[in-house]
């Protein structure tokens, strides 16, 4: 009897324990579900800037992140051209200009993507092929490339790879931006820019540090893995199979609208000014040789400078957004150009070694000078992106914006070639820097010449000028998008980004 009572009591206790643990489990599940929802909400609102997570968004962000981490090979390219191929500053500047050419053809890639589907897809296939082209280019650089022209050809195709993927990603962003509410306007652009900046920051210091331990070809082979990531995420794009592309009539209409827009005085004159403003010669290639051959800066230190300039570029963008975004275009670009030219002249202290007489070490002077010039250059360049967006008519905003960016890229190419020509004329070589001071003076002084045409820029918002001109149909939308990678600063005088996936340059020319 006592044994039976004990058994039933034990069963009752076990049953109560089971109920207890079931209740605890339900409670923990409820808490975990609540916590997971809060975590998801935090991630969406804080990390994704309010954008709904989706496979396509992951693909877009991955493309921009890869563009940022491709900076890992920036210094490796520079040292490969200088040390392995024994090129002069003039030759480096000239050949790099050739490598930048694909960025001038971005509108063409846009037309091809819209009008010529590959295997039934307008976005997926082009993104997949761009990654494949990039990987093969970097593998070639890391293995079989031996001559100057094969090197330039490989650089050209690596640049082509990034330009195509950039066009596809930009088009996807433009499509998504059109669906955004007014309150969420600009959030996706900021997210894309931020993720690319993160990639650039991660690899900025590594680009120099790894060169202390590995060869340039090893760096190229490591870089070859990055474009494969783009190919891998291409199939995350939400796109239906189609056999038809843009009709010839549609293409003709686009071209007609582009011609009509670009010939409008309110669009043509600012475009002309910015082209002239950006195509003045640069001494970036010569400065790379000066800092490595004359001052003896090692790759690790140059990586440190790239890290500092990447951070200060973000600072410059933040300062513009916080304090200068309401300043008229003429004012900020005009004064920014003057200040950048004056600050650029401080490089004369470094070139003549006068900084040593002042008790300032070459490395500390270089870090401080690059940081200041990058902040100034970024503040001056940001209004150009804003102005470019405000000039674009509805219906062709993405195409015209890509065209404007291509024009800016063309001006950067011209700047490289003029700088190479000027370097040759002055006799600046890998060992002779006697006229380096004159090169610094000319490049900085020439950046002031386009200010004669400063009146070509609108005084106020172009929308108001378009209204007053009686062209209400040309009013641009509030938001269009063009991605600009961190590190696109020719103003980084001591570590010029010679690799051509960073084509856009601010005003400073030293």
Displacement of CA 222 from its chain's centroid (Å): 20
Q: Establish if 484 belongs to a structural domain.
A: no
Question: If you average pLDDT over residues 62-68, what whole number do you get?
Answer: 90
pLDDT greater than 60 at residue 432: yes
Query: Percent of the chain scored above 70 by pLDDT?
Result: 73
Q: Establish if 42 belongs to a structural domain.
A: no
Q: Is 50 left (phi over 0), alpha (psi -120 to 50) or beta?
A: left
Q: How far apart are CA 267 and CA 262, in angstroms?
A: 6
Q: Establish if 416 belongs to a structural domain.
A: yes
pLDDT of residue 169: 85
pLDDT greater than 70 at residue 125: yes
In tens, the pLDDT along 317-370 reads 788 878 887 888 888 889 989 998 999 899 999 999 999 999 999 999 999 888
Provide the terminal-to-terminal Cα distance of the chain, rounded to the nearest Å. 100
Calculate the average pLDDT of the chain: 77
Q: Establish if 360 belongs to a structural domain.
A: yes
Q: How far apart are CA 45 and CA 66, in angstroms?
A: 23
pLDDT of residue 133: 95
Q: Establish if 324 belongs to a structural domain.
A: yes
Q: How far apart are CA 428 and CA 440, in angstroms?
A: 11
* pTM exceeds 0.85 for this model: no
Q: Establish if 85 belongs to a structural domain.
A: yes
Question: If you average pLDDT over residues 223-252, what whole number do you get?
Answer: 80
Least confident among 125-129, 150-154, 156-160, 393-397: 393-397
Q: Which residue has the higher pLDDT, 122 or 39?
A: 122
Cα–Cα distance list, 271 to 35, 267, 344, 377, 454 (Å): 52, 6, 25, 19, 11
Give the pair of three-digit tokens for residue 284: 């970036």
Per the CB < 8 A criterion, the answer to whether 68 and 485 are in contact is yes
Q: Which residue has the higher pLDDT, 54 or 187?
A: 54
Q: How confident is the model at residue 426 (pLDDT cuts 50, 70, 90)?
A: very high
pLDDT of residue 105: 86
Query: What is the secondary structure of 334-384 as a DSSP string?
Result: HHHHHHHHHHHTTHHHHHTTHHHHTT--HHHHHHHHHHHHHHHHHHHHHHH
Q: Establish if 14 belongs to a structural domain.
A: no
| Domains in the chain, number | 1
Q: Which residue has the higher pLDDT, 466 or 276?
A: 276
Displacement of CA 94 from its chain's centroid (Å): 22
pLDDT of residue 195: 82
Q: How confident is the model at residue 121 (pLDDT cuts 50, 70, 90)?
A: confident
Q: Which residue has the higher pLDDT, 374 or 39?
A: 374
Give the pair of three-digit tokens for residue 76: 């490796």
Question: If you average pLDDT over residues 91-110, what whole number do you get?
Answer: 83
Q: How confident is the model at residue 482 (pLDDT cuts 50, 70, 90)?
A: very low
Question: If you average pLDDT over residues 22-32, what whole number do you get?
Answer: 51
Q: How far apart are CA 331 and CA 315, in angstroms?
A: 20
pLDDT greater than 90 at residue 495: no
Q: Establish if 36 belongs to a structural domain.
A: no
In tens, the pLDDT along 239-297 reads 777 766 556 666 677 777 777 777 788 888 888 998 999 899 988 889 989 999 999 99
Element (H, E) at 18: helix 2-42
Q: What is the CATH number of the domain that holds 346?
A: 1.20.1250.20
pLDDT of residue 345: 92
Structural domain range at position 236 = 53-240+249-474
Q: Which residue has the higher pLDDT, 69 or 395?
A: 69
Give the pair of three-digit tokens for residue 5: 């009572």
- Long-range contacts at 412-415 (CB < 8 A, ≥ 24 apart): 412/100, 412/278, 412/279, 412/490, 412/503, 412/504, 412/505, 413/97, 413/100, 413/101, 413/104, 413/503, 414/97, 414/279, 415/278, 415/279, 415/280, 415/281, 415/282, 415/490, 415/505, 415/509
pLDDT of residue 140: 96
pLDDT of residue 26: 56
In tens, the pLDDT along 193-204 reads 778 888 888 888
pLDDT greater than 90 at residue 473: no
- In sequence order, the β-bridge partners of residue 121 are 118
Give the pair of three-digit tokens for residue 279: 């195509």
């Amino acid at each position: 009897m006592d044994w039976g009572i004990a058994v039933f009591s034990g069963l009752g206790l076990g049953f109560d324990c089971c109920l207890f643990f079931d209740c605890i489990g339900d409670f923990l599940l409820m808490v975990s579900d609540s916590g997971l929802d809060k975590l998801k909400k935090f991630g969406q609102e804080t990390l994704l800037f309010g954008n709904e997570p989706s496979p396509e968004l992951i693909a877009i962000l991955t493309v921009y992140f890869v563009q940022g981490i491709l900076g890992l090979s920036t210094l490796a390219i520079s040292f490969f051209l200088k040390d392995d191929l024994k090129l002069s500053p003039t030759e480096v500047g000239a050949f790099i200009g050739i490598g930048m050419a694909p960025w001038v053809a971005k509108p063409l890639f846009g037309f091809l993507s819209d009008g010529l589907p590959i295997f039934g897809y307008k976005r997926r296939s082009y993104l997949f092929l761009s990654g494949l082209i990039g990987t093969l280019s970097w593998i070639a650089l890391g293995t079989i490339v031996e001559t100057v022209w094969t090197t330039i050809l490989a650089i050209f195709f690596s640049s082509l790879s990034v330009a195509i993927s950039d066009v596809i990603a930009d088009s996807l962003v433009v499509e998504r931006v059109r669906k955004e509410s007014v309150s969420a306007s600009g959030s996706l652009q900021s997210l894309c820019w931020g993720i690319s900046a993160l990639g650039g920051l991660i690899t900025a210091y590594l680009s120099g540090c790894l060169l202390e331990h590995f060869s340039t070809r090893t760096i190229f082979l490591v870089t070859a893995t990055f474009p494969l990531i783009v190919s891998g995420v291409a199939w995350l794009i939400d796109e239906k199979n189609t056999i038809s592309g843009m009709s010839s009539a549609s293409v003709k209409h686009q071209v007609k609208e582009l011609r009509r827009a670009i010939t409008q005085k309110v669009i043509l004159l600012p475009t002309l000014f910015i082209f002239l403003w950006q195509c003045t010669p640069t001494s970036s290639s010569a400065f790379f040789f000066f800092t490595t051959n004359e001052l003896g800066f090692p790759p690790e230190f140059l990586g440190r400078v790239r890290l500092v300039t990447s951070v200060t570029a973000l600072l410059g963008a933040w300062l513009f957004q916080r304090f200068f975004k309401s300043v008229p275009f003429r004012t900020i670009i005009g004064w920014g150009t003057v200040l950048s030219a004056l600050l650029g002249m401080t490089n004369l202290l470094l070139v003549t070694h006068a900084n040593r007489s002042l008790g300032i070490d070459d490395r500390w002077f270089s870090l401080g000078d690059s940081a200041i010039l990058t902040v100034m250059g970024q503040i001056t360049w940001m209004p150009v992106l804003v102005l470019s967006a405000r000039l674009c008519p509805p219906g062709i905003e993405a195409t015209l914006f890509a065209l404007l960016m291509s024009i800016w890229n063309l001006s950067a190419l011209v700047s490289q070639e003029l700088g190479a020509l000027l370097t040759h004329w002055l006799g600046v070589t890998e060992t002779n820097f006697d006229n380096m001071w004159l090169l610094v003076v000319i490049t900085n002084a020439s950046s002031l010449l386009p200010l004669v045409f400063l009146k070509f820029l609108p005084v106020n918002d172009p929308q108001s000028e378009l209204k007053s001109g009686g062209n209400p149909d040309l009013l641009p939308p509030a938001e269009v998008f063009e991605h600009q990678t961190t590190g696109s600063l020719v103003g980084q005088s001591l570590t010029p980004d010679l690799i051509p996936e960073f084509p856009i340059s601010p005003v400073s020319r030293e």
